[in-house]
Amino acid sequence: MPRRDKRADIVNAGIRIFSRKGFNRCSVEDILQEAHVARATFYSYFDSKKDLFVELIDTILNNMFEIAAKEFDEIPSTLEELKEKTKNAFIKLYDFFAENLEFSAIYIQEVMGMNKEIDFRIVEWQERVSELVKLLLNRGIEMGVFRPLDVDVVATMVAGAPQHLGLHLFLYKQDVDVPRVAEAVADYLIFGLAAR
């Protein structure tokens, strides 16, 4: 009989408990009961409930960044190509959230304003996304496909949009036409910036 991966049991239990109860309303005891592990086992892997939560947030943010960055491995050379890549990135991010609903609930419901360390991680992630967007915007301006604009402000705005859109799509809507939303987001972001 294979040995249980107790660390994975704790992480998965943390995902379920944090998504149902939220960080502040759950205890290490809730996680222990969900994971079916002893207190000593939990503390052999994590120093606190917060350490487990921070690891989950880091995992979510890294997955989201990799999804977006992979779509833009090669910088598009036309507006249509950029729009298509933006649309594909949005669909892949949405699919990631949809396939990991409990994981996603933690990000959408719990991340900002919880504590300074977690807020820092979110801001740091948004800055990574912003740097990727700046690269795309500067290249588009150089090529003449984007009009001159304040790259820093626009990149920051684009980097912050996924959180708001995620709240809207996952918490307030039941049936979401993902391709329609992706098309609208890509169209707005790309052609709203296009040279006139």
Report in angstroms the alpha-carbon separations of 38 from 17, 32, 86: 16, 6, 46
Query: How much is the pLDDT for 40?
Result: 95
Burial zone of 22 (CB within 10 Å; 0-12 exposed, 13-18 middle, 19+ buried): middle
**C-beta neighbour count of 171 within 10 angstroms:** 10
Structure tokens at 18: 């944090």
Q: Does domain 1-46 have CATH number 3.30.420.10?
A: no
Residue bearing tokens 């996603």 = 104
Distance between CA atoms of 47 and 49, rounded to whole angstroms?
A: 7
Q: Considering Cα of 44, then 50, then 56, then 62, what sign does the dihedral take?
A: negative
101-123: buried (b, 16+ CB within 10 Å) or exposed (e) per residue? eebbbbbbebbeebeeebeebbe
Per-residue pLDDT, 38: 94
Q: How far apart are CA 32 and CA 38, in angstroms?
A: 6
The pLDDT value recorded for residue 11 is 92
| Global confidence as pTM | 0.72
Give the model confidence (pLDDT) of 15-46 as tens digits: 899 888 888 889 999 999 999 999 999 999 99
pLDDT of residue 42: 95
Question: Domain extents for the chain?
Answer: 1-46, 53-191
Write the CATH number of the domain with boundaries 53-191: 1.10.357.10
Q: Which residues of the chain have pLDDT under 50?
A: none
State residue 13's pLDDT score.
Answer: 94
Mean pLDDT of the chain: 82
Residue 140 confidence (pLDDT): 85
Output the pLDDT for position 175.
Answer: 72
